[in-house]
Amino acid sequence: MIDGCASRSRACGERPLGSASRARRWILLEQPGPWGADALTSSDLPGPVAARLRRLSRDLPARVLLLRRPGGAVTGTTRRSLFVGRSHAGGGWLEHLELETVHDLLDLDLSPLVADRSVGGQRVTEPRYLVCTNGKHDACCASFGLPVAAALADLLGDRVWECSHVGGDRFAGNLVCLPDGSFYGHLDPESARRAVAAHEGGRILLDHWRGRSALPFAAQAAEALVRRELALERLSSLRVLRVERLDGSGALHRVELGTADDATVIATVRTGSRPEARALTCNGVPGHAPTFELVSLEREAEPSRSG
**Dihedral angle over CA of 175, 176, 178, 180, nearest 10:** 120
Q: What confidence category does residue 303 fall into, taking pLDDT thresholds of 50, 70 and 90?
A: low
Q: In whole angstroms, give the CA distance from residue 181 to residue 188.
A: 20
Interval 173-229: pLDDT, tens = 999 999 999 999 999 999 999 999 999 999 999 999 999 999 999 999 999 999 999
pLDDT digits (tens, 9 = 90+) for 244-285: 999 877 799 999 999 999 999 999 999 999 988 888 888 887
Domain coordinates in residue numbering, the chain? 5-207, 216-299
The rounded radius of gyration (Å) of the Cα atoms in the chain is 20
Residue 216: what are its φ and ψ, rounded to 5°?
-60, 160
* pLDDT over 90 (residue 74): no
Model confidence, pTM:
0.94
What is the arithmetic mean of pLDDT over 109-131?
97
The CATH fold of domain 5-207? Glutaredoxin (3.40.30)
Using the 8-state DSSP alphabet, how is residue 284 labeled? S
* In contact, 27 and 61? CB cutoff 8 Å: no
Band of the pLDDT at 162, cuts 50, 70, 90? very high
| Listed residue (161, 166, 174, 141) closest to 80, CA to CA | 161
